[in-house]
Amino acid sequence: MSTSPARGRAQSPARGVVRGAYYPSWNYASVNPSKIDFSESHFTHLFYAFVNPDPTTFDLVITSNDKPILSDLVSAAHNRSPPVMVLLSIGGGGVGGAVFSNMSGAEGTRSRFIRSTIEVARENDVDGFDLDWESPKDAAEMVNLGLLFEEWRVAIELESTASGRRRLLLTAAVYFSNHFFLPGKSPCRSYPSSSIAKNLDWINAMCYDYHGSWDTSATGEHAALYDATSNVSTSYGLTSWTSSGVPRQKVVMGLPAYGRSWELKDAAEHGIGAPAVGVGPGADGVLKYTEIKGLEGWTEVYDMGTGSAYAYRGTGWVGYDDRRSVAQKVKYAEVKGLGGYFFWAIGQDLNWTLSRQGMALRVFNSRIINYNT
């Protein structure tokens, strides 16, 4: 294993604005890493989704299927000027919380997991980790999460000093709000903000999936920037994070490159919150942005009041983000002094239309990351 940083790579942790995106490994056939558009610096960081620990030993595992895909992604990202960083996203929505709960519950198992993540990162030339634990189920697990972050940060600092290599990044994908308050998310609990503020480089707040197939009584914008009727909105969630003590520059806003659909009760009533009777087109009512833009004969509406878009035809309805709502949200992040934004996920955008909105606005120019210092 080399003990010196790779030529042309960042020698210190990233500073400035994050323009990130998750790269789902299952999209490899349709979006080979060589096809990712890096030409306008759309991205500063990519998150490889997903890898997981062994449920018994808690060692992080890179499967034989992951190995070549990850290698291709790292090669494509690092061979850019400036290079794009690649982080391993550990977990994901489909992974049972029991593994993370068991791992984080004792110092010994936390230590083994942490040690294995550092070894895997160095072996695969990645730039850090993104923990996607969805989600600690109670206050005790939140305490253990804070301990995990603290011990992880100490370990990567010590490894960097001992090896002479740049420090690995440490981030986490988190609920849109610092605290859980929606029905079905009981018991009420909050993230360990003090540990997050001290130990993480930033958090990726998942500002989407506010509404969906679990509630078919009315249409809803699943990633609304604002909601005058409730706290279920991106603005509320991000404010809860900054109010909890996490520095603004460590809060990164999530943007979806997909929409959620409903079947309207009455074709004549088609606004946000219109009565519905079930899910609309797409698998479980989910449509990628590429699929939404391929719908023929649908009427598209941009709603500045919620910072979102929707489209309808007959009794079909879908709420999503378009280029205008993405631009509005990115501007919001700039004004609030946030750390940037990320997309879920590469492979869902159409010709990088959404991905380029931040650069098109020329936002955050005073804080653009310099990878060469």
Q: Do the domain assignments include residue 304?
A: no
For residue 230, give both structure tokens.
């409730």
Q: Is the pLDDT of residue 306 over 90?
A: yes
Query: For the residues 239-262, what does the mean pLDDT come to?
Result: 98
Where would I find the beta strands (DSSP E) of 31-114?
45-53, 60-61, 85-91
Beta bridge partners of 286: 260, 283
Give Cα separations from 66 to 24, 48, 50, 70, 95 (angstroms): 11, 10, 9, 6, 16
Q: Do the domain assignments include residue 269?
A: no
Query: Is 134 among the residues known to form the active site?
Result: yes
Are 279 and 228 in contact, with CB atoms under 8 Å apart? no
Q: How confident is the model at residue 261 (pLDDT cuts 50, 70, 90)?
A: very high
Q: How confident is the model at residue 342 (pLDDT cuts 50, 70, 90)?
A: very high
Q: Do the domain assignments include residue 242?
A: yes
End-to-end Cα separation, the chain, in angstroms: 24
The whole-angstrom separation of Cα 101 and Cα 159 is 25
pLDDT at 13: 34
- pLDDT tens-digit readout, 192-209: 999 999 999 999 999 999
- Top-confidence residue, 366 or 311: 311
Q: How confident is the model at residue 39 (pLDDT cuts 50, 70, 90)?
A: confident
In a 13 Å sphere around the CA of 72, the CA atoms on its Cβ side amount to: 15
Which entry of 40, 107, 134, 296 is annotated as an active-site residue? 134
Query: For the residues 326-341, what does the mean pLDDT come to?
Result: 95
Q: How confident is the model at residue 242 (pLDDT cuts 50, 70, 90)?
A: very high
Q: Is the pLDDT of residue 365 over 70?
A: no
Query: For the residues 26-52, what does the mean pLDDT come to?
Result: 94
pLDDT at 362: 53
Amino acid making up residue 225? L
pLDDT at 359: 74
Q: Is the pLDDT of residue 115 over 90?
A: yes
Q: What is the mean pLDDT of the chain?
A: 92
Q: Do the domain assignments include residue 62?
A: yes
Q: How many domains does the chain have?
A: 1
Q: Do the domain assignments include residue 210?
A: yes
Q: Do the domain assignments include residue 356?
A: yes
Q: Do the domain assignments include residue 240?
A: yes
Determine how many CB atoms are found less than 10 A away from the CB of residue 101: 17
Write out the residue range of the structural domain in which residue 64 sits. 18-256+322-367
pLDDT at 6: 36
Are 207 and 178 in contact, with CB atoms under 8 Å apart? no
Q: Is the pLDDT of residue 352 over 60?
A: yes
The whole-angstrom separation of Cα 174 and Cα 129 is 14
DSSP 67: H
DSSP 366: G
Q: Do the domain assignments include residue 278?
A: no
Q: Which domain CATH number covers 139?
A: 3.20.20.80
Are 52 and 91 in contact, with CB atoms under 8 Å apart? yes
Q: How confident is the model at residue 94 (pLDDT cuts 50, 70, 90)?
A: confident
Q: How confident is the model at residue 5 (pLDDT cuts 50, 70, 90)?
A: very low
Query: For the residues 246-272, what does the mean pLDDT come to?
Result: 98
pLDDT at 366: 45
Q: What share of the chain is helix, strand, coil (3-state, %, to 5)?
A: 30, 25, 45
DSSP 98: H
Q: Is the pLDDT of residue 367 over 70?
A: no
Query: Phi and psi for 17 in degrees, rounded to 5?
Result: -90, 135
